[in-house]
């Protein structure tokens, strides 16, 4: 553990203790006066924001410490790496032509260039950092325009028989096919030629960051709310059902109601969260996590169980995530705010529940002509996404 990580963990511990003390004051004021003092509420909001900041620092430091270096055939060849970087630098800055034979990089008839390996890897790494659903889901690289996954929805049946009894034929497995909808995500960052000519400007870093941030915003929203038309289908766009697994139609997602439209149950709000956890089969729960936006998380942080213990706990060990009722919590800005009939909390084993399909190759078209003096870099990537196991995901609906 680095000194920086240790210091961040200590600060997070102190902040959580201060938060608990302030929330206890708030609860005491509500009990004695019927409402909390506005200063106490403001203090609690500030502490919520501070814990978010510290938890993000701890997570970032842990991720950075575990991140592997570059691998592959070029990893141990500094001359080859330098040649590729120099080539790409020349392409972005000056639009130099590709040497297809030397670099073995394909080119489309429309003039789109395949991104060199180093940049493509950098985009994927940063997308995993910026896009929480991509980092949690099952990501599959595909080489064609279609990807299909078979799901066994009814296993082989069996039975007991005597030593000499007749062996009748048993039922065969029932299979369902899922094909995540595929779409094209694009970005079109621009820079002036003067900026590109500046030798002190790290053009590769700039372009990768621009693309990663733009792609991250678009794809994460699609993984949560996408319609499935020319884009991934988000897990909140599926038909929901209050039925259990036995009677729920394949492809529907079970949603538990809080019992109050737009709010938590009037009694103990932790009860419905416990019910949400145990609505999932135990085989999926081991790697399951909560997904919600930061506003709802700030509200849940104040919840206690009947023994006065806080349901939410920060990750106070190196690499440990914040937890809710013992399960990690992932903040997803695209999750809806709490409102009547909103699906604002997701509890899922996302590796089993959701599949992201990446069509191999990100492509760049350098355009120095259309918007002088700007040079545009029209970049495209094809990807899809869909729920591929409806038993590994549960939703909480703020409804009667």
Confidence check: pLDDT of 117 > 90? no
Say if CB 218 and CB 382 are below 8 A apart: no
Between helices 78-94 and 203-225, what is the axis angle to 10°? 80
| Domain harbouring 213, CATH code | 3.30.2400.10
Q: What percent of the chain has pLDDT over 70?
A: 84
Q: How far apart are CA 329 and CA 269, in angstroms?
A: 17
Residue 357 lies in a domain: yes
Mean pLDDT of 73-77: 53
Between 118 and 354, the higher pLDDT residue: 354
According to the model, what pLDDT value does residue 345 have?
A: 98
Residue 176 lies in a domain: yes
At 309-355, the pLDDT tens digits run 999 998 877 667 899 999 999 999 999 999 999 999 999 999 999 99
Residue 100 lies in a domain: no
According to the model, what pLDDT value does residue 337 have?
A: 96
Residue 19 lies in a domain: no
At 9-67, the pLDDT tens digits run 888 889 999 999 999 999 999 989 889 999 999 999 999 889 888 888 887 776 666 55
H-helix or E-strand spanning residue 6: helix 3-33
At 241-291, the pLDDT tens digits run 998 766 788 889 999 999 999 999 877 888 999 999 999 999 999 999 999
Confidence check: pLDDT of 102 > 50? no
Residue 136 lies in a domain: yes
Residue 245, phi-psi category: left (phi > 0), alpha (psi -120 to 50), beta (remainder): alpha
According to the model, what pLDDT value does residue 355 have?
A: 96
According to the model, what pLDDT value does residue 357 have?
A: 94
Q: Return the structure tokens found at 381.
A: 């990537």
Q: How far apart are CA 197 and CA 354, in angstroms?
A: 43
Q: How far apart are CA 205 and CA 70, in angstroms?
A: 15
Residue 24 lies in a domain: no
Place of tokens 């918007």: 371
Confidence check: pLDDT of 112 > 60? no
DSSP string, 76-126: T-HHHHHHHHHHHHHHHHH-PPP-HHHH---B-TTS-EEPPHHHHHHHHHH
Confidence check: pLDDT of 104 > 50? no
According to the model, what pLDDT value does residue 63 have?
A: 64
The torsion of the CA quartet 325, 329, 332, 333, rounded to 10 degrees, works out to 70
Residue 337 lies in a domain: yes
According to the model, what pLDDT value does residue 114 have?
A: 55
Residue 33 lies in a domain: no
Confidence check: pLDDT of 91 > 50? yes
Q: How far apart are CA 58 and CA 49, in angstroms?
A: 14
Say if CB 182 and CB 146 are below 8 A apart: yes
3-state helix, strand, coil in the chain (%, to 5): 40, 25, 35
Confidence check: pLDDT of 110 > 70? no
- Residue-number span of the structural domain to which 253 is assigned: 112-158+169-293+332-400
According to the model, what pLDDT value does residue 311 have?
A: 94
At 366-394, the pLDDT tens digits run 899 898 889 998 999 999 999 999 999 99
At 129-177, the pLDDT tens digits run 788 999 999 999 888 878 888 887 776 778 888 888 888 887 777 778 8
Q: How far apart are CA 375 and CA 206, in angstroms?
A: 14
Say if CB 140 and CB 147 are below 8 A apart: yes
Number of domains into which the chain is organized: 1
> Considering the chain, what is the average pLDDT of its residues?
84
H-helix or E-strand spanning residue 393: strand 393-397
Confidence check: pLDDT of 101 > 50? no
According to the model, what pLDDT value does residue 97 have?
A: 57
């Amino acid at each position: 553990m680095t000194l920086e990580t240790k210091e961040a963990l200590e600060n997070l511990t102190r902040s959580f203790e201060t938060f608990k003390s302030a929330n206890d004051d708030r609860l005491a004021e509500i009990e004695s006066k019927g409402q909390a003092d506005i200063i106490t509420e403001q203090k609690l909001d500030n502490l919520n924001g501070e814990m978010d900041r510290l938890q993000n620092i701890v997570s970032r430091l842990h991720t950075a410490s575990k991140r592997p270096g570059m691998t592959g055939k070029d990893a141990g060849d500094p001359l080859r790496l330098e040649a590729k970087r120099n080539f790409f630098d020349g392409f972005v800055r000056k639009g130099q032509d590709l040497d297809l034979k030397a670099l073995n990089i394909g080119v489309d008839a429309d003039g789109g260039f395949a991104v060199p390996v180093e940049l493509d890897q950098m985009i994927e790494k940063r997308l995993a950092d910026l896009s929480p659903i991509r980092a949690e889901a099952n990501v599959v690289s595909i080489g064609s325009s279609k990807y299909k996954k078979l799901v066994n929805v009814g296993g082989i049946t069996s039975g007991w028989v005597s030593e000499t009894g007749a062996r009748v034929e048993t039922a065969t497995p029932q299979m369902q096919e899922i094909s995540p909808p595929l779409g094209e995500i694009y970005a079109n960052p621009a820079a002036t030629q003067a900026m590109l000519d500046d030798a002190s400007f790290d053009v590769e870093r700039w372009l990768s960051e621009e693309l990663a941030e733009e792609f991250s915003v678009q794809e994460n929203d699609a993984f949560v709310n996408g319609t499935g038309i020319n884009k991934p289908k988000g897990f909140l766009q599926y038909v929901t059902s209050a039925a259990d697994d036995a009677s729920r139609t394949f492809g529907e997602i079970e949603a538990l109601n809080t019992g109050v439209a737009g709010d938590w149950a009037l009694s103990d709000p932790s009860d419905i969260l416990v019910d949400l956890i145990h609505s999932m089969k135990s085989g999926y729960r081991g790697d399951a996590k909560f997904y919600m936006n930061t506003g709802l998380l700030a509200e849940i942080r104040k919840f206690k169980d009947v023994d006065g213990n806080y349901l939410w706990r920060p990750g106070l060990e190196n690499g440990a995530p914040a937890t809710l009722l013992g399960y990690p919590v992932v903040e997803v800005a695209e999750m809806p705010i709490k409102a009547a009939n909103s699906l604002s909390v997701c509890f899922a084993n996302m590796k089993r529940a959701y599949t992201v399909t990446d069509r191999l190759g990100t492509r760049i078209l350098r355009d120095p002509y259309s918007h002088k003096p700007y040079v545009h870099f029209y970049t495209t990537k094809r990807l899809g996404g869909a729920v591929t196991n409806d038993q590994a995901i549960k939703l909480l609906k703020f409804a009667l």
